[in-house]
Amino acid sequence: MSDDPIPGALRLQAGICKAFGAPFHAAMMERLAADYEQGGPTRGLVEPWIGASARKLFDDAVPIRLANAFTHLAMSGEAPALAAAYPTEANPAGDPDAAWGAARSAMTAHRDHLLAFMGHEPQTNEVRRSACLLGGFLTVAAETGLPLRCFEIGASAGLNVLWDRFHYRLGAAEWGDPASPVEIPTDWEGPLPPLEAKVEVAERAACDRRPTELTDPAQRRRLLACIWPGQFDRLARSRAAIDLALAGGTVVDEADALDWTRAKVRPEAGAATVLYHSIFWQYLPHETREALEAAILEIGDGATPEAPFAWLRMEPPMNNLATVELRLTLWPGGGERVLAEVHPHGAWVRWS
């Protein structure tokens, strides 16, 4: 048996896609794995990762990059046969056999398009992650009684910058403006966070090392191509959040998270300063991760009861990438709490 981790990574991701409601994507990944093993054109697309460790494949999200590249091609209008086989609301299963036939031809005919898409890590911006972060913001607001200054790192297009303008359904409970164009339902288990806390966002800012420019149709398409085929609710939420961000003038600074945090984030009296991120930590090189954590702890050391600082993150623990947790560290004090276990896209929250 070959010890090349690429087919295994594709099949592992296929299993995850199946478990998370994306069977069409899973079917494409299984076919890509088989094609790779048979020496097919898939090898040419993943060539930069041949010989890489399983960990590197995971960190670079190679299976998702590869499968999303076909979604992007299908959305582009350049490969009508591929597009015709993709899931639609009328036929949510799509036609994986027909899609694979078209995809195989596209690997030659549209190689440059696919390679260009794969040149960057999958840049999702999942709006429903706000349903997980919400409980953390509410906790900080309730415990400090102060307005919030919100700083997001690795914000992608900045769709979660306006988290307080969405309407949430948390199981039977709800939070936010019922007239919001962005409706976020999530299954909720366990006690609720302090929904009655007064929330005022006094300041908001965000950065990404490569922000998605929402005013550019090509970049919007790239963003939407990262939503798994057949997940029409996610697509609709993203489109609504894009409109809201465009109308609200959301700005995402183009900056490395470490430099930006060091330059911009410090506690200020009269507000609770919150640094937050979701599904971002794993993309940092080890040294940046360590330096960023040190910078955050230093900011925490400067917090006072009048100028508290919170580090809120929705991330898999680095020693168990199979689960995602919502963690909060609030200074002064600095005790770390796991607030919840959450679905990677925010479909459910198990509040501790």
Ligand X SMILES: C[S@@+](CC[C@H](N)C(=O)[O-])C[C@H]1O[C@@H](n2cnc3c(N)ncnc32)[C@H](O)[C@@H]1O
> Which residues of this protein are in contact with ligand X, per CB under 6 A?
123-126, 129, 153-156, 207-210, 256-257, 277-280, 283-284, 288
* CA separation, residue 160 to residues 250, 311, 333 (Å): 10, 16, 27
Residue 140 vs 207, nearer CB to ligand X: 207
Q: How far is the CB of 133 from ligand X (least distance, A)?
A: 9
Q: How far is the CB of 241 from ligand X (least distance, A)?
A: 10
Contacts of 230 (CB under 8 A, 6+ apart): 21, 22, 23, 24, 25, 87, 92, 93, 94
Q: How far is the CB of 98 from ligand X (least distance, A)?
A: 30
Q: How far is the CB of 339 from ligand X (least distance, A)?
A: 16
Residue 9 vs 106, nearer CB to ligand X: 9
Q: 251 and 286 in contact (C-beta within 8 Å)?
A: no
Residue 105 vs 288, nearer CB to ligand X: 288
Q: Which amino acid is at 98?
A: A
Q: How far is the CB of 73 from ligand X (least distance, A)?
A: 21
Residue with smallest beta-carbon separation from ligand X: 154
Q: Is 212 exposed, middle or buried (0-12, 13-18, 19+ CB in 10 A)?
A: buried
Q: Which amino acid is at 218?
A: A
At residue 190, the 3 state secondary structure works out as coil
What is the secondary structure of 311-337 as a DSSP string? Answer: EEEEE--TT-TTSEEEEEEEETTTEEE
β pairing state of 173-176 and 167-170: antiparallel
Q: How far is the CB of 280 from ligand X (least distance, A)?
A: 4
Q: Which amino acid is at 270?
A: G
Of 342, 307, 311, nearest in space to 326 by CA: 342
Residue 154 vs 193, nearer CB to ligand X: 154
Residue 4 vs 341, nearer CB to ligand X: 341
Residue 99 vs 314, nearer CB to ligand X: 314
Q: How far is the CB of 130 from ligand X (least distance, A)?
A: 9
Residue 98 vs 347, nearer CB to ligand X: 347
At residue 222, the 3 state secondary structure works out as helix
Q: 321 and 13 in contact (C-beta within 8 Å)?
A: no
